[in-house]
């Protein structure tokens, strides 16, 4: 009996030390940058806010932030975080923006969202003069999906053709949809479909190079050709559960760099951080978190966006991130200064 108790005691001690070691393991290195602005919370209860997108006005101070409430609709925020509009369009999940879309005899800016209420893409026109967002003429654009999930846009420079990449929840299927305006309404056609492998949501396209970046949440960040004729060939940019990303890999956004390849920012949801990669060689630039200052931190971020042009109070632009736990209740979106993030990343010990 004594020997058994001694063995059990030793085993219990070893297990306790192991658990303690796991609890005290240092997180993956990151630098902290405070949020500079936060939006009003979305109305949806629980897990509701999901994905932001930035729209730039001719007068930068009048720019807008679009944010989805995946329980009910689309929010439009001013740069100080106030609510300018709310469109109760249905369960909007991901949203993206492009400029100079030809809609008949009008030129408008355009936002497209994955619509889980209607199993479709919801299209919104943005008035370039006023920033007012309104549903585009016609019905939503149906998808051959059970549940649409992630979405990002690609505007091909050679002919200004507009495409949407949409992922299906759980299945890992992705479709590429051509969007156009005809006979007074939006139209769409599926031009490519392929399998990613497992669930994927976040994506972004570098229009200049025609490169698509997709985060397969539990596996890797992948690089594809955005041309609809290119098939499913891909290369890996980064592994999930590595020295850069902790599952889930969620939001994806491109951060343009002057006279260099853009950086790619990916939400490392599992440890409340963001990984930044150089798309030229896929090296890790660094990792950061939104924390400190007068505004609460972000946690378990889903969607993100980057606007890398000067704005009032933000000389290099802003980083946008969904926040899972707003300290005053609900969920909202945070803005952080890109110049502050760059300084923190480049000054961090390597």
The first and second tokens of residue 39, run together, are 């939006």
Q: What is the rounded average pLDDT for all residues in the chain? A: 92
How much is the pLDDT for 25? 45
How much is the pLDDT for 3? 36
The first and second tokens of residue 298, run together, are 């972000």
The first and second tokens of residue 85, run together, are 């509009």
**Residues 224, 209 contacting (CB under 8 angstroms):** no
Please give the order of strands across the beta sheet that includes 304-307.
37-38, 332-337, 318-323, 304-307
CATH 3.40.190.10, applies to 31-347: no
How much is the pLDDT for 348? 64
How much is the pLDDT for 8? 36
Whether the model pTM is above 0.85: yes
Query: Measuring CA to CA, how many Å separate 288 from each of 1, 31, 332?
Result: 53, 5, 19
Give the largest CA-CA distance in the chain: 90
pLDDT by 10s per residue, the chain, length 350: 333 333 334 434 344 434 443 444 457 999 999 999 999 999 988 889 999 999 999 999 999 999 999 999 999 999 999 999 999 999 999 999 999 999 999 999 999 999 999 999 999 999 999 999 999 999 999 999 999 999 999 999 999 999 999 999 988 999 999 999 999 999 999 999 999 999 999 999 999 999 999 999 999 999 999 999 999 999 999 999 999 999 999 999 999 999 999 999 999 999 999 999 999 999 999 999 999 999 999 999 999 999 999 999 999 999 999 999 888 889 999 999 999 999 999 986 65
Domain extents in the chain: 31-347
Neighbours of 6 (CB within 10 A): 10
How much is the pLDDT for 9? 40
Q: CB burial class (10 A; 0-12, 13-18, 19+) of residue 350?
A: exposed
């Amino acid at each position: 009996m004594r020997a058994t108790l001694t063995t059990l005691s030793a085993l219990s001690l070893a297990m306790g030390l192991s658990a303690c070691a796991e609890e005290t393991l240092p997180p993956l290195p990151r630098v902290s940058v405070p949020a500079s602005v936060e939006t009003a919370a979305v109305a949806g209860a629980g897990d509701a806010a999901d994905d932001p997108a930035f729209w730039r006005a001719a007068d930068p101070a009048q720019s807008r932030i679009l944010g989805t409430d995946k329980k009910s609709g689309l929010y439009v925020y001013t740069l100080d975080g106030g609510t300018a509009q709310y469109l109760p369009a249905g369960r909007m999940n991901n949203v993206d923006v492009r400029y100079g879309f030809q809609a008949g005899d009008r030129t408008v800016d355009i936002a497209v969202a994955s619509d889980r209420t209607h199993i479709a893409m919801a299209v919104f026109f943005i008035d370039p003069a006023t920033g007012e967002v309104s549903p585009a003429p016609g019905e939503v654009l149906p998808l051959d999906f059970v549940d649409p999930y992630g979405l990002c846009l690609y505007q091909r420079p050679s002919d200004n053709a507009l495409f949407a990449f949409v992922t299906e929840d759980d299945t890992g299927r992705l479709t590429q949809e051509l969007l156009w305006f005809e006979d007074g309404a939006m139209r769409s056609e599926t031009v490519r479909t392929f399998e990613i492998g497992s669930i994927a949501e976040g994506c972004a396209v570098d229009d200049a190079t025609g490169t698509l970046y997709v985060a397969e949440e539990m596996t890797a960040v992948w690089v594809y050709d955005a041309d609809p004729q290119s098939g499913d060939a891909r290369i890996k940019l980064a592994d999930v559960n590595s020295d850069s990303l902790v599952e889930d890999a969620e939001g994806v956004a491109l951060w343009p760099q002057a006279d260099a390849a853009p950086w790619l920012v990916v939400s490392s949801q599992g440890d409340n951080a963001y990984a930044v990669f150089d798309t030229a060689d896929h090296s890790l630039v660094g990792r950061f978190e939104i924390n400190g200052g007068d505004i609460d931190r972000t946690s378990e971020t889903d969607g993100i966006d980057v606007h890398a042009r000067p704005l009032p109070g933000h000389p290099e632009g802003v980083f946008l991130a969904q926040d899972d736990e707003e300290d005053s209740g609900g969920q909202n979106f945070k803005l952080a200064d890109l110049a502050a993030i760059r300084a923190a990343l480049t000054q961090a010990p390597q």
